[in-house]
Amino acid sequence: MGPLPPAFYTKMRHRWLFLGACCLVLLNLYLVVKIISHRAVDEYKERLGVQSTTVPGNTSRKLPLPTAEKTVSLQPDQSSAAPTIDEWDSVNDKRLQLLSTVCKNSTLRNLTHTPINKFVLDRIFVSDKHNILFCQTPKVGNTQWKKVLITLDGAFSRVEEIPENLVHDDKKNGLRRLSSLTPQEITHRLRSYFKFFIVRDPFERLISAFSDKFVKNARFKLRYGHDIAPAIIRKYRRRDRDGERAASGLHFEDFVRYLGDIEGRRHLDPQFGKPIIHWMTYAELCAPCDIPYDVIGHHETLEQDAGYILKRAGIEHLVSYPAIPPGISRYNKTKIEHYFSGISKRDIRRLYARFQGDFDLFGYQKPYFLLN
């Protein structure tokens, strides 16, 4: 057999060069996919706004827990997949473990424990059709959850169809409160129904309550603007150099002094009639140390929590949580600093002492940037 023609070797060389180029392209594609995969994981963690923390006394498990200092993006049009129920089970377990630990702290007992009395039972809405109990914590998106319960009762097919004025009309919205039942019925539901409520950074919640009740919402002007605000101003506004109080409406500074003066409020609040739920603590509203809740949602992770709660309650196929406007649940440190600017450290420390139980029970960081 004679030597092969030069054309054969040229052809084979071209083939090997082609195969080598293909391998190089595949290797580059593999590296690109790995990089994108790692970035996706990092972005997913950032969206959750979680960090690794450990419950006191349990150093073997490290699970994610949202913190108040973390700003998270909770826009409803996020493209990547939502966390699975197993992943969010870990977050909720961590929250419940922290709650249990703080509830056992005897030094905080006065700030964390509330008897399960009629006032607390009045805060809890019942869906007997789906075995659900929801405790309302005002200024944390409760209107939307009430819409969910109204839809479940069958009066409306979608939450978007429910008029806003109907949601707040206790005589027409059809929502039943736990306080309306017999002691035996109450005990049964507390033991066997799915129970949840939502929390929010305590200081952000107070800012929201102040803005809604004293600044922009005319619906509340009669009670809050004509009765409550003047009483707070008379007691807590500092006089000017001429010994007079400014004639303008309630200032946030007045509001902070009022809330931080526990002894003074005992004498002032009875003048307002029924307790004002919009700035009562979560402990006073829902008795979380005395009622075994199944889920504690956080306003800062509302998109993930809303879907998780619907799944845990077994109603995700029956109703959807209303669309969440972009940025509405984001923790806003700048806003907090703005509202508290000019307020004395003494008044801020007294306010924190009043709401320390809410900070500790639900893992919100102490606002050192305001206190120091």
The one-letter code for the residue type at 194 is F
What percent of the chain is predicted at pLDDT more than 90?
A: 58
Range with the lowest mean pLDDT among 74-78, 84-88, 168-172? 74-78
pLDDT higher than threshold 50 for residue 39:
no
| Rounded Cα distance, 132 and 116, in Å | 18
Q: Is residue 323 part of a domain?
A: yes
How many other C-beta atoms are found inside a 10 Å radius of the C-beta of residue 279?
A: 21
Q: Is residue 11 part of a domain?
A: no
Average of per-residue pLDDT values in the chain = 81
Q: Is residue 100 part of a domain?
A: yes
- pTM (global) more than 0.85: no
Q: Is residue 217 part of a domain?
A: yes
| Rounded Cα distance, 293 and 276, in Å | 23
Q: Are 96 and 74 in contact (CB under 8 A)?
A: no
Q: Is residue 54 part of a domain?
A: no
- Highest average pLDDT, of 19-28, 134-143, 233-242, comes from 134-143
Give per-residue pLDDT as tens, 286-321.
Answer: 999 999 999 999 999 999 999 999 999 999 999 999
Across the range 63-78, mean pLDDT stands at: 35
Give per-residue pLDDT as tens, 164-191.
Answer: 889 988 888 989 999 999 999 999 999 9
Across the range 137-141, mean pLDDT stands at: 92
What local confidence, expressed as pLDDT, does residue 168 receive? Answer: 85
Q: Is residue 215 part of a domain?
A: yes
What local confidence, expressed as pLDDT, does residue 58 receive? Answer: 33
Q: Is residue 52 part of a domain?
A: no
Identify the domain containing residue 365 by its residue range.
Answer: 95-371
What local confidence, expressed as pLDDT, does residue 80 receive? Answer: 42
User: How many folded domains does the chain comprise?
Assistant: 1
Q: Is residue 222 part of a domain?
A: yes
The one-letter code for the residue type at 342 is G
